[in-house]
Amino acid sequence: MKKIIIYLLFSIIYSINFSEDISQIIYNNCTSCHRPNQIGAFLQLQSYQDVYNNRALIAYVIGGNDEMRHDNPIMPPWPPDREYSTLLDERFLEDDQIQLILDWIDIGAPQGNPELEYPIPEFPDGSTLGEPDLVFEMEESHFVEGNYQDDYRCFVFSLDNEEEIEMSAIEFRPGNREAVHHAIITYIPHGDADYLDNQDNQYGYECYGGFNLNTTTDLIGGYAPGLSSLEYPENIGRTIPANSDIIVQVHYAPLLTDQEDLSSINLFFKEDSIEREIDQYIFDYWEFALPPNQVTTITRNLYIQNDISMVNILPHCHLLGQSWEIYATSMDFNDTIPIIRIPEWDFDWQSFYYPEYLLKIPSGYTITATCTYDNTSNNPNNPNNPPQWVYPGDGTNDEMFFIPIEYLVYQEGDENIYLGTIDDCSIVGDINDDEGLNVLDVVLLVNIILSNSENVCSDLNSDSIINILDIVLLIEIILG
């Protein structure tokens, strides 16, 4: 059977073209960021000509062969190690997708029939979650100077809420996606940030690393390119106290041209009363020092007294950070729960990370977090030249060991609560869920058969068996 499969693959490999085989990969995985007014607008990928002109760069950033990158492709950006744990909304190209693009480039990157090109998706301009209950827009636009420097700014929004708010979701909507790199959101008692806001002669106030406040509250949301806002499952949510303000810290990416941003926040209420309140624990450490010209590793442990269900986690450090690893172990060390590993920390690509399902951490387990810091001249991100002693803090030249963890008190069956959106198979044979049938689906179907795995869209002839007959049928459908 393998010979038949190989013959079928070779019979179609030289028919690879942009319109039928490559366009859907690029448009579904790259164009959301690489288009006007987005974070990747400097390299637009909206047409065959765009992709053709940048084919050498594309081959490099998706290939992962550079020894310095440890075989991790640069694009799409996804810092966590996908072989360590499975997280929600992972950004990556399948190996077969990468190989298909590279094969296409090797044969001259032909366009094919333009009429058969995959349509560019309709990217939403408004909310991705529906009609919000409250909308907060910046009072005035923020000027982002084109000096190719990072700009961190905090903006305060008054909720004017005399009663507490039961929140289902919060969504940050960047006004200028080319300028906004990421954002984090918290709430505080009304007026607690006024003194900072009033001291700055511009709208909002400058902030880096944190919110520069004495008040400590939970992080309740954020934004990063390519990530979707999450609505908490039924009966699960967060309560914002009465008389609160919302603060958003926005990281504006380095730009070469002057630009402006007018972002907004959407707040969604729970339709039914919250039965299970999400809590947050800040797993942090502030008593360390990083000597110059040394690589330092810090490991901290957090003992779990009662069963919990983890909702998300946000490992956070600054420019000296090199890697993170976080896992949970039983008291006898016979069981280990991998949570997240980031082998090459990148301050510019950080986010809240969600397991696909609520992740149970039993009582008696210990969460271990290890962060490695490189305070040598070999670290190109080191803000000090020559390297200096570095201590914990919110400042640009400071460091942090800071891990917010959202969780619930565990209930039986939590392991079965999915945190993402459940999708059905809309097109039978569409293995990669790109809303089209093409050679890539054939390649993926072959891998499914050879690896004896399953896919809801792979049984084309509905005989409850996935085999060579499904491959033949898929090829017949593609060829018309």
Query: What's the pTM value of the predicted model, to 2 decimals?
Result: 0.76
DSSP 76: S
Q: Is 267 exposed, middle or buried (0-12, 13-18, 19+ CB in 10 A)?
A: buried
Would you kindly state where each structural domain of the chain is located, as residue ranges?
Answer: 12-123, 134-276, 279-416, 423-480
Please tell me the distance from the alpha carbon of residue 249 to that of residue 152, in angstroms, as a whole number: 7
Dig out the tokens for 330 from the structure: 């039983």
* 244, HSE (Cβ side, Cα atoms, 13 Å): 18
CA distances from 139 to 134, 186, 203, 222, 250 (A): 15, 18, 8, 20, 15
CATH of 134-276, one of 2.60.120.310, 3.40.50.2300, 3.40.640.10, 3.40.1190.20: 2.60.120.310
pLDDT the model gives residue 74: 82
* 56, HSE (Cβ side, Cα atoms, 13 Å): 1
Compute the chain's Rg from CA coordinates: 24
Q: For 95-159, where are the E strands, in sequence order?
A: 134-137, 142-144, 151-158
Dig out the tokens for 338 from the structure: 């991998």
CB–CB of 266/170 below 8 Å? yes
pLDDT the model gives residue 456: 67
Same CATH topology for 134-276 and 279-416?
yes
Please tell me the distance from the alpha carbon of residue 417 to that of residue 440, in angstroms, as a whole number: 31
CB–CB of 290/176 below 8 Å? no
Dig out the tokens for 19 from the structure: 């319109």
β-partners of residue 238 are 167
Q: How would CATH label the architecture of 279-416?
A: Sandwich (2.60)
β-partners of residue 205 are 154
CB–CB of 261/356 below 8 Å? no
Beta-sheet pairing, 180-189 with 366-375: unpaired
Nearest to 181 by CA among 229, 230, 127, 223: 223
Q: Is 294 exposed, middle or buried (0-12, 13-18, 19+ CB in 10 A)?
A: exposed
DSSP 348: T
CATH 1.10.1330.10 fits 423-480, yes or no: yes
Nearest to 356 by CA among 433, 280, 405, 415: 415
H helices of 251-302, where?
Answer: none
Please tell me the distance from the alpha carbon of residue 236 to that of residue 247, in angstroms, as a whole number: 23
Which amino acid, one-letter code, is at 322? Q
Mean pLDDT per 10-residue section of the chain, whose length is 480 residues: 50 74 92 82 91 93 59 80 91 89 94 91 77 93 91 94 94 88 92 93 88 86 77 91 96 89 95 93 96 98 98 93 98 97 87 93 98 97 95 83 95 92 69 76 81 70 76 82
Determine the Cα angle at 211 with ends 206 and 213, to 5°.
110
SS3 329: strand
CB–CB of 1/468 below 8 Å? yes
Please tell me the distance from the alpha carbon of residue 311 to that of residue 318, in angstroms, as a whole number: 24
Please tell me the distance from the alpha carbon of residue 472 to that of residue 321, in angstroms, as a whole number: 50
